[in-house]
Structure 1
Amino acid sequence: MVSASDAVSLGTSIMAVTFDGGVILGADSRTSTGNYVANRVADKITPLSDNVYTLRSGSAADTQAIASHVQHFVAQHQAEEGDHISVKTVANLVKMMAYNNKDNLQAGLIVAGFDKHEGGQVYSISLGGTITRAPFAISGSGSTYINGFVDKNWRDNMTEQEAMDFVTRALKYAMTWDASSGGCIRTVTITSAGAKRQFIPGSDILPTYGELGREAIRA
């Protein structure tokens, strides 16, 4: 039995937003176990189908297990139907897995994607398995540092570039102030044309106000 003092502390920063024509998912890349950074370049954005991805926070093993099971069910469903699965159906599969195992898993996830029925959609699934649809969602330890920024700067019907700038700025601030978040920024943009990935290395993430730039450090 693991005592409270021995429990592993995990951290991350993930978010997904809708824009006019699709959704963007973004995440940092640091996986931590207590004060130790186990992986600096983890990929926390997992495809569940061609048009639906999930962002994972909590226990890496638990969220990977849920994603693997859902991928299996989605593949079966699409083979039987002969068409892309809806984002809502995938989100409910994730919710069912999280809720039915809520006493055994530590998993907070965001499911986002695009389908021909309702366009871009974002669903947040909390640790207990509660599902909520919203125009944007943030989660992980770093999310507490950017609540104000997100509330102030969120706008409906942003363009793809505006949404990308919004996501990368929010994640940069979360990574700056949350010691359990960091590394690089990964994003996935999903539209009717499909999904495309973007990778921003840590060396290209400009420092926030109050931080020294790399040129000043070298000087």
Structure 2
Amino acid sequence: MTSRPSSRASHSVSVRRPFPLSHGTTTLGFIFQGGVIAAADTRASAGGLVACPAVHKITPIHSHLVVTSSGSGADCMLWERILTREIRLYQLRHKRRLSISGTAKLLSLMLHPFKGTDVCVALTLCGWDKLIYVCSDGARLQGDIFSVGSGSPYAYGVLDRSLSWSLNKEEAILLAREAVFRATHRDAYSGNNVDLFHVTAEGWRQRQREDLKEEYYRDMEKRV
């Protein structure tokens, strides 16, 4: 006669980490007269460790939409891939792209069942005329400016001071670079390089990745 396994043995036992792996980032997006600017740092952190200095936190979804990501790196990459697939399937079925608002609603509906779980995702959808923030509990917010991550308070300080609708393209790019630079200088979980995308009615364009250490030294020279 075989013994029946206990109920405790039949369930997987969750193992707690010996210490919490805090993570952080700095991502931002804002609307101006020339379209939408999306910018982010490139440091992936796990507690006090720099897991990777050169990750991509801005992902093109289609020709007129990019997404900035904050939260768990694995969760963000998974949901960006799912979103890209669903948008492509919609385009194949209906012979047109899903709108930015429709994309945000779709993402919110997909994430809502995971509310209260360990899924940690905060995505900002940056279309050429619209900015919508969606997080892992299904919340969906539309606005003219968003900054997400542990470095966002520092980025907001720069953006609130200088952002205006009348900025030209070069002024908007300089503002986004400075916002990310200031955040990475003060926030331990943000750093390394800056990625920047400019989204217009013609599509998105990616600016060449820049090393923020050089920005720091240029800033110090100005103060001398």
Report the TM-score range of the alignment, normalised by the length of the smaller protein. 0.7 to 0.9
Contact 2:154–2:179, Cα closer than 8 Å, also in 1:
no
| Pick aligned residue for 1:39 from 33, 52, 72 | 52
Letter in 2 for 1:52: L
| Pick aligned residue for 1:183 from 192, 200, 206 | 192
Contact 1:32–1:180, Cα closer than 8 Å, also in 2:
yes
| Residues 21/79 of structure 1: CA separation in 2 closer, same or farther (3 Å cut) | farther
Q: Distance in 1 between matches of 2:212 and 2:174?
A: 17
Q: Distance in 2 between matches of 1:179 and 1:199?
A: 24
Q: Distance in 2 between matches of 1:2 and 1:167?
A: 41
Query: Which residues of structure 1 form unaligned runs of 5+?
Result: 115-119
Q: Distance in 2 between matches of 1:87 and 1:159?
A: 24
How high is the sequence identity, in percent, across the aligned residues?
25
Letter in 1 for 2:87: V
Contact 2:69–2:76, Cα closer than 8 Å, also in 1:
yes
SS of the aligned residue for 2:42 comes to coil
| Pick aligned residue for 1:14 from 13, 17, 27 | 27
Contact 1:186–1:200, Cα closer than 8 Å, also in 2:
yes
| Residues 203/10 of structure 1: CA separation in 2 closer, same or farther (3 Å cut) | closer
| Pick aligned residue for 2:118 from 104, 125, 135 | 104
Letter in 1 for 2:24: G
Q: Distance in 2 between matches of 1:100 and 1:125?
A: 14
1:85 CA displacement: 2.4
- Name which of structure 1's ranges 75-84 and 178-187 shifts more when overlaid on structure 2: 75-84
Letter in 2 for 1:21: G
Letter in 1 for 2:121: A
Q: Identify the residue that residue 202 of structure 2 maps to in structure 1.
A: 193
Q: Distance in 2 between matches of 1:2 and 1:157?
A: 53
Q: Identify the residue that residue 148 of structure 1 maps to in structure 2.
A: 157
SS of the aligned residue for 1:182 comes to coil
SS of the aligned residue for 1:11 comes to coil
Q: Identify the residue that residue 4 of structure 2 maps to in structure 1.
A: none
CA RMSD of aligned residues (A): 2.2
| Pick aligned residue for 1:25 from 22, 27, 38 | 38
Contact 1:95–1:131, Cα closer than 8 Å, also in 2:
yes
| Residues 150/21 of structure 1: CA separation in 2 closer, same or farther (3 Å cut) | closer
SS of the aligned residue for 1:141 comes to coil
Q: Identify the residue that residue 117 of structure 1 maps to in structure 2.
A: none
Q: Distance in 2 between matches of 1:178 and 1:57?
A: 15
1:201 CA displacement: 2.4
Greater C-alpha radius of gyration: 2
Q: Distance in 2 between matches of 1:2 and 1:26?
A: 36
- Name which of structure 1's ranges 152-161 and 170-179 shifts more when overlaid on structure 2: 152-161
Contact 2:25–2:41, Cα closer than 8 Å, also in 1:
yes
Q: Cα deviations across residues 81-101 of structure 1 (Å, max 9, x unaligned)?
A: 222321111122222233221
Contact 2:114–2:136, Cα closer than 8 Å, also in 1:
no
1:36 CA displacement: 0.8
Q: Distance in 1 between matches of 2:124 and 2:41?
A: 14
1:3 CA displacement: 4.3
TM-score normalized by structure 2? Answer: 0.85
